[in-house]
Every structure is written in C-alpha cells, then in structure tokens.
Amino acid sequence: MPGQWQGPPPGATGPSGPRAGFGTRFAGALIDGIILAVVNFVLRAITGAAIGGILDFVVDAAYVIYFVQTASGQTIGMRVMSIRAIDATTGGRVDAGKSVVRYVVGIVSGLACLVGYLWMLWDPEKQTWHDKASGTYVVPTEYYPVERWPG
C-alpha cells in the first residue's frame, strides 16, 4: 500500500518508520540553496542591494513554504534527492501553517551554530528542530511515494 512503511532503508530509520539521512537532506538543501542564490543574485542586480536583501527573504520563504505545503511535500532539491516532508501525525500533506513554522524554525536552527540541523544526527526519529517544531518528518519517496509534483 502506498505511503506505508515497507522496510527500513539502510542507516536511515526512526522508530516509527524510514527517514531521510543527513547526507541526502544536506544535498537537497544545497541544490535549493544554489537555485535560490541564482534567483536572488539576479533580483539584487535588478533592484539593488537594499531592496534585493528584502526580496531574498521573501523569495526564500515563498519557495520553501510553497513547495513543502504542496501534496508532494518537496522542494526542487528534495525532488532531485527523492525525499519529501510529511505530517508526522497523518503521514500526509504538510499544511501551510506547519510549513511556515518549519521555515521560521529552520532559520533559528541555522542561527544556533547549525545545531538545529545537526540535531537529526542523534535524534531517534532523525528530526531537526524545524521538523520537531512543525510536527513533520522527512522521508524517502521510495517508501512514501509522490503521486504528482509539485502536487
């Protein structure tokens, strides 16, 4: 049955099911970071540094919040790496409110010397601070397939 745990992927399980590993999540975030850096570079070149700085935040937030709250639960980087965000309670779509919380706490995770991101390395459910705060998991699409992208 789609969406049900079908066995553990090597080295990436939590007590309640398979989870995306650190390397896979990092690579997805790096891909998203490159995409956003190019877009933001162009916006800054067009609008100037002051307005561009504000637009950076708006574009980054809109990108992450929009893609995570779609039915696929995937940014472009997550899609490339075959992972997705799901609601920890329902195992389904992450709603817009949780997506906003996830984004905001993601900023805090980075500001705290990246500890919030590294947290998944010793957390039994492989959750970062923003996963915990928003009630989400990041899972491999092999075990939690995406029907269509972006959803």
pLDDT digits (tens, 9 = 90+) for 93-115: 999 999 999 999 999 999 999 99
The answer to whether position 47 is within a domain reads yes
The answer to whether position 49 is within a domain reads yes
pLDDT at residue 50 in the model? 87
The answer to whether position 79 is within a domain reads yes
The answer to whether position 4 is within a domain reads no
The domain of 28 spans 17-140
The pLDDT-based confidence of 151 (bands split at 50, 70, 90) is confident
Name the pTM for this structure: 0.89
Give the range among 4-13, 25-34, 63-72, 121-130 with minimum mean pLDDT: 4-13
Per-residue pLDDT at 33 exceeds 80: yes
What is the arithmetic mean of pLDDT over 74-93?
97
User: In degrees rounded to 5, what are phi and psi of residue 73?
Assistant: 65, 30
pLDDT at residue 113 in the model? 94
The pLDDT-based confidence of 11 (bands split at 50, 70, 90) is low
Specify the residue for token string 């998944």: 120
The answer to whether position 2 is within a domain reads no
The answer to whether position 145 is within a domain reads no
Total domains in the chain come to: 1
pLDDT at residue 13 in the model? 67
